[in-house]
Structure formats: structure tokens, C-alpha cells
Structure 1
Amino acid sequence: MGEEVRTKAAARPSWPFYIAAVLVAAVLAGAVAQSFVGESLAALGIPDPGPATTFGLPAMRGAAWMLAALAVGSFLFSAFLIPPSARGEDLNGAALTVDGMVASRTGAWASAGLAVIGLAMIPLVLSDVSGQPLSTVFFSVGAWSTALNQVNDAQVWLVVAAFAAVVALCGLLATHWWPQVALLGGAVVTVMPLGLSGHSASGGNHDYGTNSFIWHLLCMVLWVGGLMALVAHGRRLGPHMGQAARRYSNIALFAFAGMLISGVVNAAVRVRFEDLTQYHYGWVLVAKVIGLLLLGGIGYWHRQVTIPKLATQPRAFTRLAAGEVILMAAVAGLAATLGRTPPPPPREVNLTQMQVQMGYNLTEPLTWTNWVTEWRFELLYSVMALLMAGYYLHLTRRVEGWKTSRTVWWLIGCATIVVTLSSGIGMHMPASYSAHMTVHMILSMGVPVALVLGAPLTLVREAYPAGEFNPRMWAESFQHSSFVRIVTYPPVSLVQFLVFFYVMYMFIPLYELLISEHAGHVIMNGVFMASGYFYFWELIGPDEIPGRSSAKVRLAWLWISMPIHLFMGVYLMQLNIVMAEDFYTTLALPWNPDLLADQKVGGGIAWASGSFPLVIVFGVLFWQWLAEDRAESRETDRIAEENDDEEWRRYNEMLSSYTRH
């Protein structure tokens, strides 16, 4: 779009637009929940705490979701939808433009508002579950203490408030491009605890419910927040509007599909189809789906009509998109009431302890055969792996002569994630220490080795043109960033690879906490893969790392680190205290396993299972060593030819001089 001259008369402020969206979500959520208040209180079996709670709690939840979306969308906008002001070969040290600063500050203030709401939700949640009026618990220090010690939702909102406060403070101080990427990650992490509570996190199949809800929340904040930021940019007639709109359009398409699919999965595991019209909960779901379909239609109209006309009719896009945001706010308000509306009877009433703790039942111990015959598709990291594989294959079609071996390695890594987490091994991970350790070793050593050999950053750099604000520039900026320089420094890389391993298994209460919660499994699996990726990326990754040590030095660091890593296996084989014994006992596994023996088997797996990845790592490092040696020899020969072997001649003259004397 051509640059437009911004004047006070033409540019429009965005804060009324933000307030309107937040109010629509809050008022609709409170009003719908209030209309079901009698049914809700009867289901909970508590007295009426008063309208300040019955209306206020869902209203605050709806407002929180919109503020979370605004924070994510604003940082998404300042990080990836418009370029910073001055940039060279990469974006390190690039300052934000005026529009980038406005978006960043908007995200910071939205996070501050979310932090305030998170704190206000603590007494609201206690009032809701206890039936006490809000005025009674709000000003009572003892009530706040009770809420934080005994009410899970209150603890979740405290975590949200803490994360949001940190993001808000950092956002108000940030003025450059790189912090925007970190703030986007922080804003996304802030809303993740909300995906681990509520109806989705309880009952049978709660692993499906929780993971699908995480996807639902992520897609919602990207879709809604990104559009809010884009509309605000259009209202102030900001530059690069066409590029930002087209880039957001791709994000919106993904988010719409993700919200629709994850919403269907989330509802299917908890609500029978025939119950949809028999309960208020079902009607809210139906209204939400209708709203999503309407939004999908508006998004299609944008792609086909308004975005192509941005250069000539920018206001047409802004007006339609503003109305779209208000509809999004209404859908978000409806969604916020679901956590307060009693759901229909569960699909399974008589749940076993395994279903309560894990979401599903196991009937026999893990064997060499049932790890391939038992399957339960994991909805979080397995879906990510499939998306990564698809994007990688898409990029390979844009690069001529891309090595097939790298593609094979990448696909092996992605397939290993799916098989590990979705097969019998992944199903037994919460119930068996030996299965847990098998998954740990595969995710931290096997998967990262395969993924780094796929050279994904090199592929991204070759698939996009140079000199533009695009994924190539983002990848190059990442490779030359201070973060990569620090995390790939051999001592730091070694420490980050080992510290979580030792801390988790030597501090037994931490292991018990992580293994007993679905959030713990999500965190552990993510840390395993991320930590292993950075460690092996520095050791053997084909991607460029500025200042990387020679292959000989990296091989030496591998010799130092592996015994330390494998020693933990020896420690576990000798440990005679059963870790997380209470949790494993409550599962009431029908085969009554010997927990200590299973733990010692897990220790043996930790000690021995790194052998196969190490063979590959040693092989790659040895090959790189030979390649470096050949390169040095060729360089030496070249210099000798250019200097007519002057160094050798001087050496011979020196020997002759010694002989004469």
C-alpha cells in the first residue's frame, strides 16, 4: 500500500475500540452466565454468593481473554507483521518504528490489565466455590490465603497474574525488535495455565480435553488479538498495512481451522451429540460454533475482496475488520461462560483412578508388542510434529538441490515424536517409571539428533529471498543473536542439558509434582526436546553458528558431558526410595507392579539408552573433524603455492645454518 500522510484528522485512536471489544465479551459472558445461575448453583450445591460473583466472575473471565488476546496480537504485530525502523543484514539491535512502539505499549498495558484481573479473580473464585459474598472474602486476608492454598483455580489465576505482570513491565521498557519476540512468547505462556483448568482438565479423556483446549486458546488469542492489532494499525493509517494484512491473513486461516477442529474435539470428548440441545451448555456450544462459522465467512471475504483493495480502499477493510472483532468478542464472551455453565452428564460416569489421574485406562504392563498395538494420538506435540514436517516439505519445494538426507533426518525426528508420544510407550509414560525414562531419553537425545541434522534454519534461509523482512531475516537474526551465542557456548550448553535432568530426579518432590499433573507432562516433554535440541545443535548441527568451536573441541566436550549424563542412570539404579510412590499407588494398576524394580529398570534405560544417538553423534563429529582437517590441508597447500613454498625453504635454510655451525 502506498504511504499515506497521517494527520490528526485522518488517524483515529484505538482505545475506544479496545474498550468496546472488552466490554462486549465481559457483558455477554456475565449476562449469559447470570441467566443460568440457578442451574449452576444447584449443580455446585452451594448458596448464592450474590450477583457480584455470579455476574462478575464470568464477566471478568471474558475480559481477561480479550486482554490476553490483545497482548498476544500486539506483540505479534510489533515482532512479525511490520518491520522495525533500521535494520542491516539482520535484526539484532534494530529499533522499533513509532507504530511498533505503539503496538508494543498496547501489549504491555493489556498485560497489566490482565494481571489486575488475575488478582481480582482470586477472591471471586473463592466466593464462587464457597457461596460467600464477594464483599466478605475480598477484604479478608485469611480468605485470600485459603483460596491460594486450597482452590486450584485461584492458584492458576495467581500464576497468570504473575506472568502478565512480568510481561507488562518488560513491555513498557522494550524499544527494540528482539524483545518483542520474547514478549510474544511470554504473552502466549501467560494464557497457557488457563488451558490447564476448568471442565477440560477433569474427568475421563482429560488429556484430550486439556490439549485440545490449549490449541483452542492459542488459536483464539492469535486470531482475535492479531486482528485487533491490525485494525488499530489501520485506524492510525500506519505504513506496511498491505504486507501486514496479507501476513495476518495466513495466520488467521490457520487459527480458524485450529479453533474449529480443537473445539470439536474438546466438545466431543465431553458432550454427547444428542445432549447438545438438552442442556444450556450445549446451546452455548452451538451458538459459539455458529459465531465461528460467521467469522470464517468474513475472513474469506477479507481474503477475496477487502485485502486486494487495501491500496485504494483501506477504510473498507478497517470497518469490516472492526465489526469482525466485535463479533469475535461476542464469541469469546460465550466461550467464557462455558467454565461457569454446568456441562451435560459425562460420557463415562464410573471413572477408575487411572481415568481420573491420566484420562484413560491401561489393562496390562508395557511389553515389546503392545507398544505398537496400543495407540492414543497425543494432541499437542504430535500435532506440532506433523505441522513441522508439512512446513519443512513445503519449503523443500522452493529450494533446488536440497539434500535428501537432511529431509529424511527431519522427517525421522518428527515421526519419532508422534510414535513416542502416541504409541504404547507414551500411554504408559504416566503410569510407569521405566516407560517415563524411555520417553525422556528418546525426546532428549533421539529426537534432537534427528531434527538438528535436518538443518531447518538453513532451509528457511534458502527458501526466502534475502534483504526482506521475512522468515529468512528472522532466522539469520536468531543465528547471530546474543541468545544463541550464550546458549551454544559449550559450558552453558552442557549445563542446560544436564541441570534439568539432575534437578528433576534428585529433588523427588519436584518429580512427584510434575508426574502427577498433566501440565507437568507438557512441561517435561517440551523441556526434554528444547534442551536436547540446543545441546546437539551446537555439537553436530549443519546450521551455521557463529564462533562455533572446531570439531575436535566439540568432540572433547562430548567426552566430558556424556559420563556426567549417564551417571544419573547409575544413581537411579542404586536408589532404594520409590519416587512418586503415592501417585503410582493411587493409579491402582491391575498388574500390581513392583515400583522399585521398575524404577531400577528406568535407571538402566537412562544409563544405556544413549548409546544409539551417541554412535550417530560421534560419527558426525568424526566426519566433520576429517572435513576440517582436509580443509586446513588444502588451505596450507594453497598458501604454499602462492608463496612458492617459502616457509619450507626457510626451514631448510635454518637446518643448513645449524649444520655449518
Structure 2
Amino acid sequence: MDEQVVADSSGGASSPVQEVHKKNNKVKITWPFYVLFAFVAGLVGAILAWGFLSDSLAALGIPDPGPVTSAGLPFLRAVGWIVAALSVGSFLATTFFISPREVKQSAEDGILKSSYLNRAYLSVDGLIAARTGAFAALCFGLIAIVMIPLVMSDLSGQPFAEALKPHNWAIAFEQVALAKAWAWVAFFAFLTGLAGLFFRNWLSQPLLFVASIVMTVPLALEGHSAAGGDHDYGTNSLLWHLVLMLVWVGGLMALIAHARRIGPNMDLAVKRYSIVATYAVIGMAISGIVNALLRMEFSDLFTSNYGLLVLAKAVGVVVVGMFGLAHRTLTIPKLEKNPKDAALFTRVAIVEVLAMAAVTGIAISMGRTPPPAPQMQDLSVMALEMGYSLEKEPTLFSVFTMWRFDLMLGTIGILLLAFYVCGLVALRRQAKKWNHLRTFWWILGCITLVVTVSSGIGMNMPATFSMHMVAHMLLSMVVPVFLVLGAPLTLIMESVKPGEPGRPGLHEWAAVLADNPLLRFLLHPAVNTIQFIIIFYALYLTPLYELMVSEHAGHLIMNFVFVISGYLYYWEMIGPDPKPEERTHVSRLAWLTFSMPFHLFFGVYLMQLQVILAEEFYSRLNLPWEVDLAYDQLVGGGIAWASGSFPLIIVFGYLFRGWFREERIVEKNYEARAAATNFADAEEYNQMLTRMNNGHDPHGDYYQETFEPKDKE
């Protein structure tokens, strides 16, 4: 019997080693540590914010709202970020760290045997982690609701009790952007939390992981980084910073809970988290530096309160990150020898999260501390609206001489290229072959993505409708075609070996991404065609376009939607990657032919449209060159018509070629079968024609018995 659990069978006392094992292998609760982490973060944030309160009030020019708001807002906000991190980390663990229950595979599993994860349910440990993530999301939603009157009280200087009155809530939603952001946070958080309480299958966990990140995004779009010049850099860098922070802190909290529950495969979970945490700390450091440099000069680091907070936070992130990496480096080999002996890891990890919580409190106090006033500030309307100013009119050649790197999609383009190179290196080590044409398409797609969003095309995209349409067509019609032809999922499944039984890894995750019920629905020709077409009409034929184009968040959302929508459409049309259902080229040609008139009509409609889209916004920019908005929109419609039809014609040719190849394969297979059977099918067919020519049914006398008139009695 297991000496770690059961005492000596002879009835004698357990040995000291057995007693230690029994103590270490006892399931322990974790929620007191969650409370401790949140309290430390809130306390540090409240103390620092209180210390800089007078400077903050003087900078804002508002009276003191009272101790409830002055101390409660930073405390509750810090607590909220720890709770949000717990939700993100829990769903991260159920998706990638904690293996689901094993599912027996069979030959009928579908096109990909590795897609058995579609049917897998969470283990007991995974289910507890998922419930933790769901309750954390619900708590974050409750905190968001309380933050609405707190924000109103803080910005207006009125006491918290006054801000709680119903009429002040209406004012907050109408006039205070940060209050609206917290309202959206509450909506997404409650949605995520309620969904997390009901889903028990593994397939839902990646979606909940994404949803837990989305619920925090509205906060990243407000604050210091979202205002003034360079706010495009500020917002994008803050988005990266916050998402990576949530993964870094939340993932470790989830691992602590996993260890205290005596969860299986602890060695694998820690190893995977270590990789994630390493890249997260690097990304946090880079994005934090970028964000700090936008707010102040280097000399301000030592001469201003805001600079001292930035310096303290940077040192804290680096020190805690390096300490955690060293700790995991020493712990992982021990866990590989004995995965159940995780006491050493847990004790050190708890201290590590406490340090993370303190760093989070420092970061929260920065939101209450005004940054130093910049020595040179671009206050032009363009800079306030777009984050930067344009100096020259875009032309066919000048757009490639402008450059402003896009921290969001530009970074993603570089990461996608790096990921692909890693896959190619892994294939080379395994002496496997790979189609170099696919590599060419992927590299071309990544380069086109970076150039589109970072060159003069991306810079002028918010300024004029015609340049917006150029970028739209490239992001939805060109970049996806190149990326799809690169076959990234096939590369993953070829370069990464399947995981051990009960321990799915990257190979299995790629397989389930290529074959799951949601993708099966999205890639159905009717759904896929409609989603690709409806984006054009819903965006430009409704007031949605003016709302989206006037906000940086709107630009981010549009760019992501363009790329994702186009990728799904062309994946089903021409993608070499596996799909839930492979349809014939004839079927895809039919759907493409059906969709082409809608694309062409959309461009014609824009060219004939008399109403100028987003006229107020474009007029407000006051560009340094004269722009005829009506003519610019006409040009944009022409670009949509020409650019929309050109890629579709290429895809049409690609599918027609595939159809021809399919027919040739069928013909060759028939000829091979005929030669093997000495043309028995052809002989039988000729005999059937002879019988029909003689008035006989080819299968007997059925024709005569059925259709010839019978003699009357």
C-alpha cells in the first residue's frame, strides 16, 4: 500500500518520512491566500495613493472627495486586478496546465484523431479551477459596479454617498468615460462568470480564458495612456502590459491552488507556466518602458513622484521575475522526480505572489498620480484624435516613406513570423520536409501585415476614407490569403510530437483548433460567406463606422475583425490546413460565385452614396492638405470595388485549378480500376445500352412488365 497515505499495516506508528509525506499530500484550501494577495495589493495601492493625494487633487483642480473615495478607490481597484488575474490564471490553467479526463480514441474520431479533446471533460481538479475562475469573474463584476460611483466621486470631488444617488449614476454613464469602461467590465465579467459556472467540458475553457481577458480590456482603453498625444502607443503598450500581467500573476496563483489540491502532473504544469511567465515578464518590461517613455523624460524617473513609482514598479517586476525564474529552474527537476512533492514550490510561490501583489499595488497608485507635464506637447486636433500628426498628403509612393510601428498588429506580425521559424527549425531537426512555397506565403503575409499597419497606409488609415479602405482591403482580402496558404496548423502538427496519454500538448491543441463544433459552424459555407459579406454592409451602412473611426479602440477592433474574418473566409475557400469538413472545389466555386456580386455591389454603392460617412470626424482633423470628402469617399468606393474583386478572381482561378485536378484524379482512378478489371464496367455498360436499344430493361423484364399494356380479360 502507498506509504504516503497509509500508516504501517502492522499497526505501529508511522515513520517520520511517512508523516512528512502525509502532511504534504493533504489537500489544503487556498482561498485565504487569495484574500491575502488581494489585501496586500489593495493596502500598498491605498497607502501610496494617499501619500500622493494632495498632488493629485492639485493637478486635477478638484476638492477632496473624502477618505472613502481617496483610500477606497485605489484599494478596491488593486483588489479588482488581483481578482481579475485569478480569473485569467484559473482559466489559463484549465486550458493549458491541467489535463482533462482521458477520452478513449477510435478510428472514427474524425479527420484528426488528436481532436478527442472536443469530447473531453474537466477533471475534478480542473473543475475546481474553473469554478474558481468563474467566481473570481463574478467578484470582479461586483467590484466594477462599486467602482462606478467611486470614479464619479473621485473625478467630481463630491463625497461617495452623494455619488451613490441614482441621478449621479446617469451622469456618470453619460459624461465619464472611465465609468462607462467599468460598466462594460461588469457586463463582460458577469457574462464570463455565469458561463464558467455551467460549462464542464474542456472545449469551453479556451473561450472562457479569452473572455476573462476581454473583460479587462475596457480599462486599458482609458486613463493616462488613452489621452493626449501618442495615445495610440500608450493604449497599445498598456494593453500588452496588462494582459501579460494578468497571465503572469494569475497563472502562478492557479499553480499554487493546483499544488495545494494535490493536482496531477504538477511538473508539467510548472514547466509550462515557466515558459509563459518568462515571455510575460520580458513583454511586460518592454511594454512598460515604452509606456513610461511616453509619459515622461528619463530625468523624471528620479525627480517626480510618478517617476519614482515607475522606477519602483520596474525594479519590482525585474526582481520578482528573475527570482521566480531561478526558483522554477531549481524546482522543476525535483517535481519531475516526484510530482506530488510540491511543498517547496508552494511555499516560495506564495512569497512570490505577495511580491507580485505589492507590485500591482504600486502600479495602481500610478493611476492616481499625475505624470510630469511634457516639455513639448503636440496639442493639435490630429494628435488628440489619432495620437500623432500627419505632415504630407499620402500618394502611391509616399506612403512607403512614412513609418510609425504599430505596437499591436505590428508586434503580432513579428511574433507570427518568429513562431513559424521555430516550427521550421523543429522540422529541420526531425529531418522532415516542408513545402517551401508555404513558407514564402507565410513570410509574405507577415511582412504585408506589418507594412500595412505601420507604413503610411496605417498612419493615414484614420485620417481619410480612401486610405481606410486601402488598409481594409489589405487586412481582409490580401493578408489572410497569404497567411492561410502558409498552413500554420499543419506546421504545428508536423513539427510537434503528440503528447503523452493524458497529457495533451501543442499538437493536440492545434488539432482541436482545426476541428471543433464552433469552427464547424463558422466554416459552413453559408455562415462563412455571410460573416465575410455582412462586415462590409454592417460597418459602412450604419452609424457604426463613425463611432468606430473616431476612437482608437474602434480602430483596434476593426483591424482585428478584418484579419480574423478574412482568415476564416479564405481558410474554408483555399486553406491547405485541415478543416472540420473538406468540401469539393465545385461547391466552393459555387459559393464564391454567389458572393462576388455582393462584393461588387458594395463598392458601387459607396461610389453612389450621397451621404459622407463620418463627415464630422474627418472635418475636425484639419489635415494640412485640402481634402474633398465627397470625392475621397468616391475613391474609397472605387478601391473597394477594384480591390474586392481582384483577390476573389485570384481565388476563383485557384479553385478552378483545384477542380480540374480533382477531375483528373477521378479520371485516373477510373482508368486504373478499369485496367485492373479488364474494362468490365465498360463492357457491362455497353451490354446495358444494347438491351435498352432492343426495348429491354437493362436489369431484366421489369420495363416490359411495368409499362407494356396487359391483355384485358
Give the structure-2-normalised TM-score.
Answer: 0.90
- Residue 341 of structure 1: aligned partner: 369
Structure 1 residue 634, shift from structure 2 partner? 2.6
**1:318 and 2:352 aligned:** no
Aligned with 2:283 (options 258, 269, 272): 258
Q: 1:36 to 1:614 in 2, by over 3 A?
A: same
1:542 to 552, 557, 576: 576
Deviations 1:98-137 (A, max 9, x none): 1100110010011011000110010000000111100112
Shift in Å, 1:501: 1.2
Give the corresponding residue for 1:567. 601
What one-letter code is carried by the residue in structure 2 that aligns with 1:81?
F
Counterpart check, 1:59 vs 2:111 = no
Query: Match of 1:598?
Result: 632
**1:113 and 2:139 equivalent?**
yes
1:483 paired residue number: 518
How do 1:140-159 and structure 2 match up within 5 A?
Answer: 140-159=165-184
What is the rounded CA distance, in whole Å, between the counterparts of 1:466 and 1:238 in structure 2?
22
Residues 1:358 and 2:374 are matched in the alignment: no
- Displacement of 1:321 in angstroms is 1.1
For the Cα contact (< 8 Å) 2:599–2:644, is it kept in 1? no
Deviations 1:239-289 (A, max 9, x none): 110001111111001100000000000001111011112211111111101
CA distance in structure 1 between the partners assigned to 2:612 and 2:321 by the alignment: 52
Instruction: Measure, in 1, the Cα distance between the counterparts of 2:202 and 2:321.
Output: 31
Query: 1:173 Cα deviation (Å)?
Result: 0.4
Structure with greater Cα Rg: 2
Paired letter, 2:147: M
For residue 613 of structure 1, what is the aligned residue in structure 2? Answer: 647
**Residue 456 (structure 2) aligns with:** 424
Structure 1 position 654, deviation (Å): 2.0
Deviation (angstroms), 1:152: 0.3
State the one-letter code of the partner of 1:189: V
Structure 1 residues 4 and 480, CA, compared in 2 at 3 Å: closer, same or farther? farther
In structure 1, C-alpha distance between the alignment counterparts of 2:397 and 2:154, rounded to whole Å: 49
**Where does residue 437 of structure 2 map in the other structure?**
405
Deviation at 1:642, TM superposition (A): 4.5
- Counterpart amino acid of residue 198 in structure 2: L
Q: Which residue of the other structure, out of 389, 403, 406, is the alignment partner of 1:378? A: 406
In the TM superposition, what is the alpha-carbon distance from 1:350 to its structure 2 partner?
4.8
Distance apart, 1:64 and its partner CA = 1.1
AA aligned to 1:401 is: K
Farther-moved stretch of structure 1 (293-302 vs 485-494) = 293-302
Q: Which residue of 1 aligns with 2:13?
A: none
Q: Would you say the 8 A contact 2:523–2:572 is kept in 1?
A: yes
Distance 1:499 1:617, change over 3 A: same
Aligned equivalents of 1:76 and 1:373: distance in 2? 42
Q: Match for residue 393 of structure 1?
A: 421
Residue 479 of structure 1, CA deviation: 2.0
Q: Which amino acid aligns with 1:378?
A: D
| Alignment equivalent of 1:45, drawn from 45, 48, 61 | 61
Secondary structure, counterpart of 1:277 in structure 2: helix
Give the alignment partner of residue 537 of structure 2, picking from 498, 502, 512: 502
Q: Which residue of 2 aligns with 1:236?
A: 261
Counterparts of 1:500-539 in structure 2, within 5 Å, are 500-507=535-542, 509-539=543-573
For 1:271 and 1:488, how far apart are their aligned partners in 2?
48
| Cα distance change on mapping 1:644 and 1:614 into 2, 3 Å | same
For the 8 Å contact 2:600–2:645, the answer to whether it is kept is no
Task: Return the offset for 1:619.
Answer: 3.0
The 1:7/1:102 distance shift into structure 2, 3 A limit, reads farther
Deviates more, 1:105-114 or 1:618-627: 618-627
Change (3 A) 1:350 1:557: closer
Identity %: 49
One-letter code aligned to 2:409: Y
Change (3 A) 1:584 1:4: farther
CA deviations 1:192-247 (Å, max 9, x no partner) are 11111100001111111000000001110111111110111112221110001111
The equivalent residue for 2:705 is none
Quote the Cα distance in structure 1 between the aligned partners of 2:3 and 2:275. 23
Q: Name the residue aligned to 2:308.
A: 283
1:61-100 to 2 correspondences below 5 Å: 61-87=77-103, 88=105, 89=113, 90-100=116-126
Can you give the 5+ residue segments of structure 2 that lack an aligned partner in the other structure? 6-20, 106-112, 696-713
Cα displacement (A) at 1:7: 7.0
1:587: Cα distance to partner?
Answer: 0.9
Distance 1:521 1:660 in 2: 74
Distance 2:382 2:122 in 1: 51
1:547 and 1:359 map into 2 onto residues whose CA distance is: 45
Q: Structure 1 unaligned segments of length 5 or more: list them.
A: none
Displacement of 1:96 after TM fit? Answer: 0.3
CA distance in structure 1 between the partners assigned to 2:580 and 2:326 by the alignment: 45
Q: Distance in 1 between matches of 2:580 and 2:218?
A: 36
Q: Distance in 2 between matches of 1:494 and 1:350?
A: 44
Q: Deviations over 1:315-367 (max 9, x none)?
A: 11111111111111111111111111111112433511111111111012111
Residue 699 of structure 2 aligns with which residue? none
Change (3 A) 1:640 1:214: same
Aligned to 1:135: 161
1:103 corresponds in structure 2 to 129
Following superposition, the deviation at residue 550 of structure 1 comes to 0.5
| Cα distance in structure 2, aligned partners of 1:173 and 1:611 | 45
Could you tell me how far apart the structure 2 residues matched to 1:657 and 1:431 are? 76
**CA gap 1:441/1:3 in 2 versus in 1, 3 angstroms:** farther
SS at match of 1:62: helix
1:430-476: CA deviations, max 9, x gaps? 10100000000000000010011011111111111235401111121
Q: What secondary structure sits across from 1:147 in the alignment?
A: helix
Letter in 1 for 2:318: L
SS of 2:299's partner is helix
Indicate the residue corresponding to 2:709 in structure 1.
none
> Is this contact kept in 2: 1:270–1:347, CA < 8 A?
no
Look up the equivalent residue of 2:366 and give its one-letter code.
Answer: L
Give 2:689's aligned residue.
655
**1:72·1:184 contact (CA, 8 Å) conserved in 2?**
yes
- Kept in 2, the 8 Å contact 1:452–1:533? The answer is yes
Cα distance in 1 between the residues matched to 2:44 and 2:195 = 32
Match of 1:588, SS state, is coil
The TM-score normalised by the length of structure 1 is 0.97
1:248 maps to amino acid = Y
Q: Does 1:458 align with 2:483?
A: no
1:195 aligned to which of 217, 220, 223: 220
Look up the match of 2:478: 446
Q: Which amino acid aligns with 1:532?
A: G
Equivalent-residue separation in structure 1 for 2:688 and 2:449 (angstroms):
62
After superposition, the C-alpha distances for 1:513-560 in whole angstroms (9 at most, x for unaligned) are 100000000000000000000001000000112322210110111111
Q: Contact 2:438/2:485 (CA < 8 Å) preserved in 1?
A: yes
Out of 314, 324, 337, the residue aligned to residue 299 of structure 1 is 324
Secondary structure class of the residue paired with 1:55: helix
Deviations 1:9-42 (A, max 9, x none): 7221110111111111111111110111111111
Deviation at 1:493, TM superposition (A): 0.4
Q: Is the 8 A contact 1:4 1:239 kept in 2?
A: no
- What is the identity, as a one-letter code, of the residue corresponding to 1:618? F
Distance between the aligned counterparts of 1:523 and 1:317, measured in 2? 40
**Secondary structure at 2:117's aligned position in 1?**
coil
- Is the contact between residue 4 and residue 237 of structure 1 (CA under 8 Å) also seen in structure 2? no
2:359 equivalent in structure 1: 331
Q: Aligned equivalents of 1:226 and 1:297: distance in 2?
A: 16
- The answer to which of 52-61 and 650-659 deviates more is 650-659
Aligned-pair CA distance for 1:396: 1.4
